[in-house]
Structure 1
Amino acid sequence: MESSRITSIIHTYRKRAARYDFTANLYYLFGYREWKYRRQAVEALDLQPGDKVLELGCGTGLNFSLFQRYIGSTGHITGVDLTDAMLQQAQKRVFQHKWNNVTLIQHDASTFQNPAKVNAVFSSYALSIFPEIEQVIRNGVNSLVPGGRLVLLELQIPAPWPSLIASAAVALMKPYAVTGEWASGRPWELICKTAQELLTNVEVTEQYFGLTYIISGKTSDQI
C-alpha cells in the first residue's frame, strides 16, 4: 500500500477512534440504519457454532457481538486493523465482554497472511478506502477453508445519482477517509469484479438507495 495513504488512514482513525462508535450513529439522523446493515451482512456469513472468523479492518470491534451470537464460546474471532488506536478500543470491548476467543492483530490487510484457515472472512466499511483492494480480497479468500464464505459491507456512489447528491454523500463520509478521489476511482467496481473472479455463488444486495451494498460469495468445496 502507498505509504502516504497508510499515513493518512492511520492519522484519520487515530483521531476518530475514541468517538468512532458514537459518531457512526449520527448517520441515523439521515435515515441510514448502519446497525441493520451490519446485522444483515453478518447473517450472510451463515456462521455456525465453533466457526472461525477473520475480520479485516475490524476497527473498534463493533461487529464482534454479532459474530459471537453465532459462533459461541467454541468459535474464534481474529480482528485485523491498521490503526493502533482503533485496536485499543476493540481491546476494551473484548475486556468488557470477557471474550476469551478474540485475537487482535495490527497489520496492513494487503500484506496480512492468516496463519490458519477460517470459515468466514468479513469486512465492513473499510476495504474500499485501501489502494490494494484486489490483494486484500485475495488474501481473504486464501484464508478460507473449502466452502468458506466472504462477505463485504461497503459504500458506493450509485451511477444514477446526480453529481450534486453524490458530492454531498462524499462530504458526509469524509470523516472516515472517504474523498473525491475515492468516488472518482469507483473502488466498488473492482471489489465486485475481484469477488466474481475468486468466488462462487456471488450475490450483491443494495440498501439505502444503493449507497450501501453487501457482496457475498464462497470458495469452492473442492479446493
Structure 2
Amino acid sequence: MRREQTHHSKAWYNALSPYYDVLVDPFQGRLRRRGIEWFGVSPDDRVLDIGCGTGRGIATLQNAVASDGHVIGIDVAEQMCQLAQDRLDDEDPSAVVCGDALSLPFDADSFDAVLVSFALELFDDDHRTAVLAEIHRVLRPSGRICVISPTTAASDIVSLLYTRLNDAFPTLVDSRPLDVSAVLTTAGFGVVQTRIEWAVIVPVEVVVAHHESRA
C-alpha cells in the first residue's frame, strides 16, 4: 500500500508539474511565504523543505538563511525536482533531492528546521505517522518544524466538503484537512504557535512546533 500511494502521487505530480505554478501556487504561495516568515529561520540554519515542488519555498528559505545556512528540498516527483533545480540555478546539486518522505535519505539530527508546506495532508494516517517519525529523527534536539495544511480546526462545513470531494475525486482532490496541532502533538512535537489563514474559502492552519525528546 505504501509503494502504491507513492507511485500514484509521483505520477500525478509529474503530470501536474508544468502547470503547478500557474494553477496551484497562486493559492498556496502567499501562505507558504507567510509561514516561512513566521517560522523565523536563523541565518546559519540547516533547513529541509519536504514536498518542495517547483522550488519556490527553497528559494525563499535560501534568502532567509543567507550564505551561512543551507537549504535542501525533497520531493517524490522527478519533474518537480527538475523544475526546482532549474529555478534555483544552483551549482550545488544537493539543494534538491528526489526522494520519499516516508524514508528520508538523511542522517539523524541533520536539520535545525523542517518545513512541510501543503504536503502532510497528502498522506493517509499510517503514512503520515511514518513521515512525522522520520522528521523527528532528522531534526536536531533543539530543532523545530513548521507545517502548513488545510485544517479541520476552523470550519466543519468546508472540511466536510473537502472530504466529500476527496472521496469523489481522489486524484484531483488528493488530500484531507487535518487537525494539525493535534497531529503534531501525537507525533511527539511540542506546539509553540498556531494560527488560521485562508486560501480562498479553505481554512489553512500554520503551526510551528519544536522537537521533543522521546523517552
TM-score when scaled to structure 1? Answer: 0.79
The one-letter code matched in structure 2 to 1:202 is V
Alpha-carbon offset, residue 120 of structure 1: 0.3
Equivalent position of 1:59 in the other structure: 53
What is the total number of aligned residue pairs between the two structures? 206
In the alignment, structure 1 residue 37 sits paired with structure 2 residue 31: yes
Equivalent position of 1:6 in the other structure: 6
RMSD value over aligned CA atoms? 3.0
In the alignment, structure 1 residue 126 sits paired with structure 2 residue 115: no
Alpha-carbon offset, residue 146 of structure 1: 2.4
| Equivalent runs, 1:95-134 vs 2, <5 Å | 95=89, 98=90, 100=92, 103-115=95-107, 117-131=110-124, 132-134=127-129
Where 1:216 maps in the other structure, the secondary structure is strand
C-alpha distance in 2, partners of 1:142/1:110? 12
After the TM superposition, which segments of 4 or more aligned residues of structure 1 sit over 6 Å from their partners? none
C-alpha distance in 1, partners of 2:19/2:170? 12
C-alpha distance in 1, partners of 2:18/2:139? 32
In the alignment, structure 1 residue 146 sits paired with structure 2 residue 172: no
The one-letter code matched in structure 2 to 1:203 is Q
Of 157, 163, 180, the residue aligned with 1:161 is 157
Equivalent position of 1:30 in the other structure: none
**CA deviation digits over 1:47-91, x for unaligned, max 9?**
111210011111111102211221001211111111111101011
CA 1:76–1:177 in structure 2 vs 1: closer, same or farther (change >3 Å)? farther
CA 1:140–1:147 in structure 2 vs 1: closer, same or farther (change >3 Å)? same
Of 179, 186, 189, the residue aligned with 1:199 is 189
Where 1:58 maps in the other structure, the secondary structure is coil
Specify every segment of 5 or more residues in structure 2 that has no aligned partner in the other structure, as ranges. none
Q: Quick check: 99-108 or 15-24, which moved more?
A: 99-108
Alpha-carbon offset, residue 168 of structure 1: 9.8
Alpha-carbon offset, residue 45 of structure 1: 2.4
Q: Quick check: 65-74 or 213-222, which moved more?
A: 213-222
The one-letter code matched in structure 1 to 2:85 is Q
Alpha-carbon offset, residue 17 of structure 1: 0.7
Where 1:12 maps in the other structure, the secondary structure is helix
CA contact (8 A) 1:152 1:216 kept: yes
**CA deviation digits over 1:121-149, x for unaligned, max 9?**
01111111123001111211221122211
Alpha-carbon offset, residue 177 of structure 1: 4.8
Where 1:47 maps in the other structure, the secondary structure is coil
CA contact (8 A) 2:51 2:116 kept: yes
